[in-house]
Amino acid sequence: MEKIKVGIIGSLSSTVEKHIEAMKNLGQDFDFCGVCDLEENRLREQAFKYEVPFWTNHKEMLKLSGANLYVVAAPNYLHKKIGEDVAKEKKDALIEAPISLNLKEAGGLINSFEKRKRNLFAMLPLRASPALKTVKHAIDEGKLGKIYGVDVNIFLFRPAEYFKQSKWKGVKKLEGGGLLDQGIDYIDIIQWFFGPLETVFSKVAVLNHKIETEDSVQAILKFKNGAFGALNFNLFSYPQNLECSITIFGSQGTIKIGGEKMQEIVFWDVKNYAMPSFTKPTYNLPTYIYAEIVPVLRGLKKAEIDGREARKSIEIIEAIYKSAKNKKEVKLPL
C-alpha cells in the first residue's frame, strides 16, 4: 500500500523531533518528504540531516512537495492561517495544540476542512497514554461510582530566558495565553475524562514574569455531571517542573494520576476493582497518534481527535479567561 507522504511546516520548532521519531517508528506507513521554516541556514542543515527537500515559503511547499498530510508546528498565531492554506489545497493537516488562538478562529478552521471533506487532526498525545487510558476506562465503566470532585494541578517552571528567547511566547496576540499554550493537553484530558463543563469561575494573574500573558490560574469548575473541580496552574514552580496531576474523588473510589507529565498512576483505591495492569508505551506518545491517523487516511474509520474534539479544550480555556476578565462565573457552552 502506498505510503502517506508527510511535510512539516514550522519544522524548526522544539516539538518536531517527536514527529519525526513517530514517522520513523511507523516507516511502513509514512514517508517524510519535506520541511519548511523561515531561518534558511538552520533549515538547510535540518533538510541535509534528514535528506529531504526544504522550503522557506509554506505556500510553495503546498504546491510542490507532493505531501498528503501536513504537520503544522509553527507558532500558535500561525496555526489557523497555515491550516486554512492546507485546506485550500485539499490536503489533510495535523496541527499542534492549540489548533487556534480562540473559538472563533477554531470554528473557521474546522469549517475550512469540513467543506472540502479533508481531515483536520490535532496533536493531543496524552490521549495515547496507557495510564490515562486505563483511568478513562474505569470512569466510563462507572467503577468509581458517582464522581464528586476533581483536583487538577499543573505546576511548571518557565524561567525568564524561556520568554526572552522567543518573539511570540508570552505575547497575547501571538501566544494566546499561558494556559492555552502550556496547559492545553491537560485541559483536554479533563474534558475527555469528565465531559462538558457547566460553569467556570476563575482568576488569572502575572506574578513572576514580565509577559503579557498569565503565569498563574486558579479556577473552580462545575461539570454537567454534577462534579466540582479545582484547577491550579502556574509557570513558576522553581527550580523545575513539579507535577501535572489529576485526583479524582468518586463514591466508590479515589484515583490520582501524577508525575511530571501526568504519566503515572500514583494512587488507586477503587471498591472491588483492582488497578488493571498496563504496559509502558514502547514508543513516544505521538507515534500512537500517528498510528490512529493511518486508518482514517485509508478511509477505514473516522477520526477520533479531530478539529471539533480539539475545540473543546479551547472553549474551556476561553471561558476561564472570560471569567477572570469579567470577574464573574461563566456558563458553557460559550
The reply to whether 44 and 76 lie within a common domain is yes
Express each pLDDT in 25-67 by its tens digit: 999 999 999 999 999 999 999 999 999 999 999 999 999 999 9
- 113 with 146, same domain? no
Examine residue 101 and state whether it is found in any structural domain, yes or no.
yes
- Whole-prediction pTM: 0.97
Q: Are residues 204 and 293 in the same domain?
A: no
**Are the C-beta atoms of residues 97 and 312 closer than 8 Å to each other?**
no
Q: How confident is the model at residue 84 (pLDDT cuts 50, 70, 90)?
A: very high
179-223 pLDDT, tens digit each: 999 999 999 999 999 999 999 999 999 999 999 999 999 999 999
- pLDDT tens, 15-35? 999 999 999 999 999 999 999
For the chain, give me the number of helices (H) and strands (E)? 12, 14
Q: Is residue 271 a part of any domain in this protein?
A: no
Mean confidence (pLDDT) of the chain: 98
pLDDT tens digit string along 240-284?
999 999 999 999 999 999 999 999 999 999 999 999 999 999 999
Omega cis (within 30) before 239: yes
Q: Do residue 258 and residue 152 come from a single domain? A: yes
Domain co-membership, 106 together with 203: no
Cell of 162: 524561556
Total domains in the chain come to 2
For residue 1, name the pLDDT band (cuts at 50, 70, 90): confident
Residues 113 and 208 both lie in one domain: no
Judgement on whether residues 72 and 141 belong to the same structural domain of the protein? no
What residue type is assigned to position 43 of the chain?
Answer: L
What are the φ/ψ torsions at residue 145 (nearest 5 degrees)?
70, -145
Q: Report residue 12's pLDDT band, with 50, 70 and 90 as the boundaries.
A: very high
* 64 lies in the same domain as 100: yes
For residue 298, what are the domain limits? 4-124+285-306
pLDDT at res. 219: 98
User: DSSP secondary structure string, 148-184?
Assistant: EEEEEEEE-B--HHHHHT-SSTT-HHHH--HHHHHSH
CB 178 within 8 A of CB 234: no
pLDDT at 241: 97
Same domain, residue pair 51 and 133: no
Residues 242 and 186 in one domain: yes
**Do 156 and 186 fall into the same domain?**
yes
The domain that holds 178 is classified in CATH as 3.30.360.10
| 199 and 324 in a common domain | yes
